[in-house]
A and B are shown apart, each in its own frame.
Chain A
């Protein structure tokens, strides 16, 4: 299967502390992958590296076909390449309306002049309405994002991510602060999204991961400890030790 993203031998250290240590990872065009690991395992740092926020000390990151390197590209270039990211803490533009947040994320020309001249067409507004319905925020479209509840902000961020139409979606703990029903909806959404694109989900909650029904990568101290189905990794000796041994 052709791989969309291949990370190999990547390391990064902060003041001598190796947060990511010779990590290798790859994901295909339409694949759902869960990444789990204890606190401080380097899951967020791993996403930082792919999205260009953190520059790796060594290793290669190749993307797409023909394969190109993502290393050294700016965050905005990588995002334009089709890598979308949802942060651990919901980050939406609180001072702006839900609709404006979504409009900003819609896949369009990102250059300053194009943005200056941009006026949303009926199609754009329909798309925003459609997304809003998908994330259950139709009634709050005109309200400021800062007035939303924590769970709704998570939703909005997921909606913004979908609006970007990325080829690779990186989601950091999407279900934090959600009710059980919302979690279920999130799983459905992620599974649906993974039919047409690659999705990497970082999550602590094993039940959530189990419902995703996908391959699982276990990170520990900055490298891959185990990889395989959820049943496979939960039976792994090392994983049990890391997760349950303390």
Chain B
């Protein structure tokens, strides 16, 4: 009996079954190599340190876009709160960076004192340094682990993960879906950012955490080198994240979550607990977002509550929509393209556009252009930029969609003939 590829001999490794993974990893490796060769810290210097940081940050945004694509594009949960998890990751690593560096400064300044400083003196010194701006001189309870890099790195994973777990459990268990779920995630994000804006939140209110680009104890190492380390780490994390997401969506798990996206009730009647799957994906992607944030903010140098504002998560959805949801490389393309364009337009480098009496200054008009592109993509190209790839691949294997299919009749007749 002529069978399809389905009965083919044992499964090949994931990367061979999905050539897009290899293509992506190759592009990422080439890009990393090119930046390394052109960067200030290791190569010709054609790329400035600040631009290396911009590129490194872009890679982190691509990583969080992957998470967004997994949760929205594949599982159909339009979360408008994933940048909150991203921000939490940033805060978690930022606390250690700020603590450890301030500690070095305080210890140094106390070293000349006649008596060796007691631990309390050091601790008070650090607290005064860090919390002076918000009129406090005590460590708030959330800083209890700030002295330990290991524990704060654990927090990068655990805090977004637990928050997503609890939030998702409450929301999915009550079967909140669609627009209501999106609004709920926005509310969570807004609540978090408003809380962080308060001076007594323990995280320096609207000042946020700063000086994160300086790694404690590495004062001698120039930023041009540090920027490259973070760039490499971001590229590595993105590559790993891509393979992980591709693996998650490749097998039966991918089938089930795409089924949930397309027809949740049907998946239930197959015996799958839709809530458990949603919770798994929501939590996993929150963790990925947290890790992406932890790599992003040391490159940005500063994090403040405005970064967690609800609009950030909406932008994330826009990137994924423009890049093409439901395909991982689409999310990466969307995030990279839109965030880099955004940097360019809002950085004041883009020349003004003069249309008769109107002078379009991109710093102001960029958001409008982005909004229009979003509407345009939603209405006219729901597959996004990633859909262009289909144009190429479909030319090789034409879609038979809608063509006349009648094998059931044929096979039945065969069956009857045998009887």
Q: Do A and B come from one complex?
A: yes
Chain B residue at smallest Cβ distance from A126? B7
Does B269 make an interface contact (CB < 8 A)? yes
Residues of B within 8 A of A77 (CB): 273
Q: Are A95 and B258 in contact (CB under 8 A)?
A: yes
Q: Are A155 and B255 in contact (CB under 8 A)?
A: no
Does A99 make an interface contact (CB < 8 A)? yes
Most buried by A among B3, B270, B277: B270
> Which applies to chain B's interface (DSSP): helix, strand, loop or mixed?
helix
B269-301 CB contacts (< 8 Å) to partner A:
269-274, 276-277, 280
> Given A103-B255, A164-B271: A125 and B6 within 8 A (CB)?
yes
How many residues does chain B have at the interface if contact means C-beta atoms less than 8 Å apart? 45
Q: Are B253 and A99 in contact (CB under 8 A)?
A: no
Other-chain residue from A110, A138, A149 in contact with B406 (beta carbon distance below 8 A): A149
Question: Residue-by-residue, is A191-216 near B (CB-CB < 8 Å gives 1, otherwise 0)?
Answer: 00000000000000000000000000
Q: How far is the CB of B337 from chain A (nearest CB, A)?
A: 26
Expressed in whole angstroms, the Cα–Cα distance for A104 and B413 within the complex equals: 29
Q: Are B259 and A93 in contact (CB under 8 A)?
A: yes
Other-chain residue from A75, A93, A115, A164 in contact with B252 (beta carbon distance below 8 A): A115
Q: Are A139 and B253 in contact (CB under 8 A)?
A: no
Binds A, one of B91-99, B118-126, B136-144, B260-268: B260-268
Expressed in whole angstroms, the Cα–Cα distance for A185 and B409 within the complex equals: 11
Q: Are A105 and B408 in contact (CB under 8 A)?
A: no
Residues of B within 8 A of A122 (CB): 10
Q: How far is the CB of A145 from chain B (nearest CB, A)?
A: 10
Does A238 make an interface contact (CB < 8 A)? no
Other-chain residue from B253, B262, B269 in contact with A79 (beta carbon distance below 8 A): B269
Does A39 make an interface contact (CB < 8 A)? no
Q: How far is the CB of A152 from chain B (nearest CB, A)?
A: 5
Residues of B within 8 A of A53 (CB): 265, 269
Chain B residue at smallest Cβ distance from A139? B407
Does B55 make an interface contact (CB < 8 A)? no
Other-chain residue from B3, B268, B408 in contact with A74 (beta carbon distance below 8 A): B268
Expressed in whole angstroms, the Cα–Cα distance for A129 and B1 within the complex equals: 10
Expressed in whole angstroms, the Cα–Cα distance for A227 and B2 within the complex equals: 46
Expressed in whole angstroms, the Cα–Cα distance for A151 and B412 within the complex equals: 12
Question: Residue-by-residue, is A62-94 near B (CB-CB < 8 Å gives 1, otherwise 0)?
Answer: 000000000000111101100011010001011
Residues of B within 8 A of A105 (CB): 270
Chain A residue at smallest Cβ distance from B261? A95
Q: Are B252 and A103 in contact (CB under 8 A)?
A: yes
Q: How far is the CB of A7 from chain B (nearest CB, A)?
A: 18
Does A96 make an interface contact (CB < 8 A)? yes
Q: Are B266 and A112 in contact (CB under 8 A)?
A: no
Q: How far is the CB of A28 from chain B (nearest CB, A)?
A: 23
Residues of B within 8 A of A128 (CB): 6
A110-124 CB contacts (< 8 Å) to partner B:
110-112, 115-116, 118-120, 122
Does B11 make an interface contact (CB < 8 A)? yes
Expressed in whole angstroms, the Cα–Cα distance for A50 and B71 within the complex equals: 32
Expressed in whole angstroms, the Cα–Cα distance for A12 and B339 within the complex equals: 54
Expressed in whole angstroms, the Cα–Cα distance for A139 and B5 within the complex equals: 11
Does A29 make an interface contact (CB < 8 A)? no
Q: How far is the CB of A188 from chain B (nearest CB, A)?
A: 10
Does B411 make an interface contact (CB < 8 A)? yes
Expressed in whole angstroms, the Cα–Cα distance for A84 and B269 within the complex equals: 7
Most buried by A among B3, B269, B274: B269
Q: Are B411 and A138 in contact (CB under 8 A)?
A: yes
> Given A95-B258, A103-B252, A140-B405: A112 and B268 within 8 A (CB)?
no
Residues of B within 8 A of A99 (CB): 4, 6
Residues of B within 8 A of A125 (CB): 6-7
Does B400 make an interface contact (CB < 8 A)? yes
Interface residues of A, Cβ cutoff 8 Å to B: 51, 53, 74-77, 79-80, 84-85, 87, 91, 93-97, 99-100, 103-105, 110-112, 115-116, 118-120, 122, 125, 128-129, 133, 136-144, 146-149, 151-152, 155, 160, 164, 179, 181-182, 185
Known: A138-B411, A149-B405. 4 other contacts (CB 8 A): A75-B265, A76-B268, A76-B270, A185-B415
User: Can you give 17 contacting A-B residue pairs, CB < 8 Å?
Assistant: A51-B269, A74-B268, A76-B273, A79-B268, A79-B270, A93-B255, A95-B262, A99-B6, A110-B271, A111-B273, A112-B276, A115-B252, A125-B6, A129-B7, A139-B2, A152-B405, A182-B412
